[in-house]
Amino acid sequence: MATATATRGGRPAVYPDRPAGAGRRRRALTWILLVVGILVVWEGLKFLGGTPWRAPGSLPGPANSILWNPPFRWPFVNDLNLPHVWNIALAFFDPWQRGADRNVAQLLFDAALYTWKEAALGFLLGTVIGLALATVFVHSRIAERALVPYVVASQTVPIIAIAPLITYAFGGSTLAVVVIATYLTFFPVTIAMIVGLRSFDPRALELTRSYAASRWDVYRKLRLPASLPYLFTALKIAATASIVGAIIGESPGGIADGLGRVILTYNQYYITGPEKLWAAIIASGLLGVGFYLVVRAVEVTVLRGRPGAAEG
């Protein structure tokens, strides 16, 4: 029977799933090794050319408090430019400013949540706009030829130049931040979906034609489902871009509650506490990675069952 190449219990024989745990374990291991590697290089450079290491709590001064005196002096790895990783880790538990009740970690958590809300709103708007534009473009060559250059041009203007304009236009409100996040996210969605909405098997058009399917039917039964892998690739880019957009958008305005302001503040106090700025940078990074992983989780759920769906 033809069933010989088929499967038992729903597991494909042609494209067998890899053992569920193995790939994931290897990826986790790679990730851990990467982090450890960065830390080793970081501290290794400081070991060779950083500021003399002192016992915790000791002030600059008596030479006997020096634990290790590096043989070289490289400015870019001194304690101001590249604080010790443990000092950065400890900075999370310092009061966020002198005499404050809340520590840096709490401040960063709240700020990240606030920024994420702005970014997520911009992400959603950007996705809708990008999808709408791509839908128009794949149905109209004229619109595509006329407008795609402007879509591309919009992204060549540095966001840092546009952000203040948008902020003034929206009176420094949160809306300005959302608009900036939208501005950065609609682009990858548009570009990917122009390809994605055309990525279906062209022979399927003969099939839908034989059903006398409407354009709308072709769109929702064929074009859109076929485009989903492209959409999620774009959404993963858009997720991180929206965080960047929101943080940049917060800076020129008076948004006091987000990561943008925290980064500005700690920038100003860098000389006295560089670890705090590094903590804020780490928080921003984690927020971007977190948003990315959320999108990835949705992708895995939505694309479950497709061939090659397990690919990262």
Q: Which residues bind another protein (CB under 8 A)?
A: 2-7, 10, 12-15, 139, 141, 201-215, 217-218, 221-222, 225-226, 228, 303, 305-307
- Contact between 85 and 39 under an 8 Å Cβ cutoff? The reply is yes
Closest approach, Cβ 302 to another protein, in A, equals: 9
| Residue partners of 23: CB distance under 8 A and separation at least 6 | 310
Closest approach, Cβ 207 to another protein, in A, equals: 5
Closest approach, Cβ 6 to another protein, in A, equals: 6
Closest approach, Cβ 125 to another protein, in A, equals: 27
Token readout for 61 is: 């001064």
**CB nearer another protein, residue 132 or residue 226:** 226
**CB nearer another protein, residue 12 or residue 254:** 12
Which residue spans within the chain are E strands per DSSP? 53-54, 66-68
**CB nearer another protein, residue 13 or residue 300:** 13
CA distances from 68 to 46, 51, 64 (A): 10, 9, 10
**CB nearer another protein, residue 25 or residue 306:** 306
**CB nearer another protein, residue 90 or residue 224:** 224
- Contact between 281 and 225 under an 8 Å Cβ cutoff? The reply is no
Coil, strand or helix: which one is 68?
strand
Alpha-helical regions (H) of 224-273? 224-250, 259-268
The amino acid that residue 104 corresponds to is: V
Closest approach, Cβ 218 to another protein, in A, equals: 5
* DSSP letter (8 states) at residue 223: I
